[in-house]
Structure 1
Amino acid sequence: MRAHDTYDYAVIRVVPRVEREEFVNVGIILSCERTAFLEARIELDETRLRALDPALDIELLRRHLDTIPAICRGGEAAAPIGLLPQRARFHWLTAKRSSIIQTSPVHMGKCGDLPATLERLMDRMVRVKPAAPAP
């Protein structure tokens, strides 16, 4: 049986109107320093975002959000940030900001399967399950 790895994660939030402080969770950044794992998964719920700001430019938002997984992958394609060490990229991505794209505080956990944990966190923190039909 594989040993459990300690990981850090943060929830990616979109705050369409920063002054109102309303947000929609749109993704997860998960990092495990020991295994050199750094990935982000993003899924937009346009209906929920438009409920907070009908004028939100979804395509521009997508372009900005697409930089997060690119920074996780690293390399020259992710501009100067992509050249930083992996842990520094995680800390840069999760630094406190007052912009339309923010992250939650960083949380810790332990698991034996990092990709499965990323999916579980997406299910729990980002994806909205349909409501059960009324009786």
Structure 2
Amino acid sequence: MERGELINAGVIVYCQPRDFLCAKVTLDAPRVHALDPHADLTGLSEALSAYELACAGTTGPVAGQSPGSRFRWLTAPRSTIVQTGPVHPGLTTDPAGELNRLFTLLVAPL
């Protein structure tokens, strides 16, 4: 993080009209180890899974909050190893399909 290097590890899609909030994540261990051979893969995996759980809204500090509140909480800037990138607005009639499309385009290993 100190060197400004990053790996896309997931995508979050929020669609207010459809009450949809979902994250799809993966941990590409070889890419992580290319940046830091001593990286804590278990800790990173748990941190990424927390994003998926927060989107579901059933556990953790955002349990029971509206999808919009959870989305704003998830995308708020933090000074941690796992961070969200900038929010990009868009329109879709199929948020689940868009989640998969963006994940394949931006995250999935080649």
SS in structure 1 of the partner of residue 104 of structure 2: helix
| Residues 46-85 of structure 1 aligned to structure 2 (within 5 Å) | 46-75=29-58, 78-85=59-66
1:23 paired with 2:11, answer no
Please list the CA deviations of residues 69-127 of structure 1 after superposition, one character each: whole Å capped at 9, or x if unmatched: 1110112xx22312222101100100111210101110011122111111110111112
Per residue, is there more helix in 1 or in 2? 2
TM-score (norm 1): 0.77
Give the match for residue 122 of structure 1: 103
Per residue, is there more strand in 1 or in 2? 1
Q: Structure 2: any 5+ residue segments left out of the alignment?
A: none
Give the match for residue 36 of structure 1: 19
Q: Percent identity?
A: 39
Spell out structure 1 runs of 4+ moving beyond 2 A.
Answer: none
Q: Structure 1: any 5+ residue segments left out of the alignment?
A: 1-17, 130-135
* Alignment coverage as a number of residue pairs: 110
2:73 to 92, 117, 124: 92
**Two-structure CA RMSD over aligned residues (Å):** 1.1
CA distance in 1, matches of 2:104, 2:93: 18
TM-score (norm 2): 0.94
Q: Whose radius of gyration is greater, 1 or 2?
A: 1
